[in-house]
Chains A and B, each alone.
Chain A
């Protein structure tokens, strides 16, 4: 897992991962590259990350991937990332395509739902929490339940 306090250098990161895995005799390498889109007049998106829990989340995925003979990779930006730049890259590397195709879907979707990262729109230099696009994490709301 790699965190950068700047937009991601897609060429550098993906080619590094590719080279690292090139002697494994694995047949499939799939990347997902997330790029900031121009939308609703934003200048950039900005991200806060809680690293201790993100690290644990990623380690759980490393174990899940290993059980299926695959490797997962992830990079994310902290702070502001302007439009048309990348803030998130993940990859799955596996001996055969089927496992990689399935894992990249599960890995990216679970990332969106459970990685402790908060997104803000940057408009006129101000950060506005992207509340409507955010997802409550697993176990959310337990502090609001009626206890007995």
Chain B
């Protein structure tokens, strides 16, 4: 199982998903009215490390974070 958490202004609870890759997460987000816009501008971290390759394979127990556009300071 993969835990997916939505950070900052994405006001959704984290979900447990039975997925094997970021491609599957991409398909899920693109098909969701609440998430498709966030997919366009959010970065992705797996176990708190930013991932930039959509072909990244997920392992059971991985934690995926969706990070929307930032503005500190």
Q: Contacts A143-B26, A147-B23 hold; do A115 and B70 have CB atoms under 8 A apart?
A: yes
Chain A residues, Cβ within 8 Å of B39: 141, 143-144
Chain A residues, Cβ within 8 Å of B25: 143
Number of chain B residues close to chain A: CB under 8 A: 34
- Asked if A12 is at the interface of the complex by the 8 Å CB criterion, the answer is no
Q: Look across to chain B and name the residue whose beta carbon is closest to the beta carbon of A139.
A: B52
- Asked if A118 is at the interface of the complex by the 8 Å CB criterion, the answer is yes
Most chain B beta carbons < 10 A, residue from A34, A49, A108, A134:
A134
The contact string, 1 if C-beta is below 8 Å from chain A, for chain B 8-22, is 110000000000001
Chain B residues, Cβ within 8 Å of A130: 71
Give chain A's interface residue range (CB within 8 Å of chain B).
35 or more
> Are B50 and A53 within 8 A (Cβ)?
yes
- Please tell me which one of the listed residues B22, B40, B73 contacts residue A34 in the complex, with CB atoms under 8 A apart: B73
- Asked if A95 is at the interface of the complex by the 8 Å CB criterion, the answer is no
> Are A141 and B40 within 8 A (Cβ)?
yes
Chain A residues, Cβ within 8 Å of B48: 52-53, 56
Chief secondary structure at chain A's binding surface: mixed
Chain B residues, Cβ within 8 Å of A111: 72-73
- Asked if B43 is at the interface of the complex by the 8 Å CB criterion, the answer is yes
Most chain A beta carbons < 10 A, residue from B43, B49, B69, B70:
B70
Q: Look across to chain A and name the residue whose beta carbon is closest to the beta carbon of B47.
A: A52
Chain A residues, Cβ within 8 Å of B73: 34, 76, 87-88, 108, 111-112, 117, 119
Beyond A137-B69, A138-B52, A143-B25, 14 additional contacts (C-beta under 8 Å) are A52-B48, A112-B71, A133-B71, A134-B71, A135-B69, A135-B71, A136-B42, A136-B43, A140-B42, A141-B40, A142-B53, A143-B42, A144-B29, A144-B30
